[in-house]
Amino acid sequence: MRVLITGGAGFIGSHIADLLADTGHEVVLLDALLPQAHGSSGAPGWSERHRLVVGDVRDRELLASLLSGVDAVCHQAAMVGHGVDPSDAPEYASHNDYGTAVLLAAMHAEGVHRLVLAGSMVVYGEGRYECADHGVVRPGPRRREDLDAGRFEPPCPHCAAPLTDGLVGEDAPLDPRSTYAASKLAQEHFASAWARQTGGTVWSMRYHNVYGPRMPRDTPYAGVASIFRSALAGGEAPRVMEDGRQRRDFVHVTDVALANALALAADAEPGGLTAVNVCSGEPHTVGELAGTLAAAMNGPEPVIVGGARAGDVRHVVASPARARELLGFTARTSFADGVAAFATDELREPAAATG
């Protein structure tokens, strides 16, 4: 199979490229080398084994030249992260949504009908919650006064009683609560409309908290594992927001690459989008991540600092059942092994200037 991987020099895309090449597929990488992820150091060394085209997914003519003879597209290119403030919105919309729209139009023009999309768990907003009296409920955004007072758990929207959190499935209502989240859901809508119009197939891989080698570091858009590691590498304690008990699913990047490879090979329903959670199935708290990484790096214990950013959610952990059923995907890297290795994994050079 010949596969175009957008964002192919990046954190996740590069691991997908390596796995596909190692299993006999031909890959072509397209990457704009955005400074938010790559800094000014140019293409990373790990992309040298592949054909890398430096260019923008929003360049229709470039896409037309790259899509010739391609069997499928693995679309990883995106501006990622929580964002800094609302001034980021135009860039998210341009890179993530307009870029996806241009890609889909070019795929239609060139007769490419198979897409694997880098989705995200952020489309869910809060995860799954159950009230003892009202059953499964959807809590609204947390109030600033509650967060400031250290009341982090969302209450039942009907009776204000405490809730029990559980595993969110792909059929959960979608409720994006940040600019990035809104852009990721818009990508799914564009891809779904394209599939209906063309008879194409789309897998949306809803990644949970991905970590591992080649993560970007020292940038406002970095993931929490990278932020904690940078602090520890500088001899500082990782700073954990809220009370550290917020739950996430931390999935290793090599497992994410495997899930993408399985989706590229799997049958999907023509004319539709199939979403799957890409997760470890092993939920942990953010505090556990910080503590485990601190122990692995012989660093200071994490510091709980409270507070929360606008748009942060309390708990979102996933059911791995659909990915296992439809793709045969089960994560292979345990939390303990993955975090221990992450203490010394190669990361991207600093992506943001300091000082």
Q: Encoding tokens for residue 304?
A: 């709980």
- pLDDT tens column, 262-296: 999 998 889 999 999 999 999 999 999 999 999 99
Question: Between 93 and 220, whose confidence is greater?
Answer: 93
Tokens describing residue 225 = 């594992």
In the chain, the amino acid numbered 5 is I
Phi, psi (rounded to 5 degrees) for 198? -110, -10
Give 238's DSSP letter. P
d(CA 270, CA 246) in angstroms, rounded, equals: 38
* pLDDT surpasses 80 at 83: no
pLDDT tens-digit series, residues 209-246:
999 999 988 776 678 999 999 999 999 999 999 999 99
185: part of which helix (H) or strand (E)? Answer: helix 179-198
Average pLDDT of the chain, as a whole number: 94
**Alpha-carbon separation of residue 150 from 259, 300, 308 (angstroms):** 38, 24, 10
Is pLDDT at 45 greater than 70 in this prediction? yes
Contact of 184 with 123, CB cutoff 8 Å = yes
Percent pLDDT > 70 in the chain is: 96
pLDDT of residue 222: 75
Query: Which is more confident, 312 or 42?
Result: 312
Q: What is the pTM assigned to this prediction?
A: 0.95
Closest CA to 188 of 104, 106, 66: 104
**Angle 68-266-114 (CA atoms, 0-180°, nearest 5)?**
30
CB–CB of 200/117 below 8 Å? no
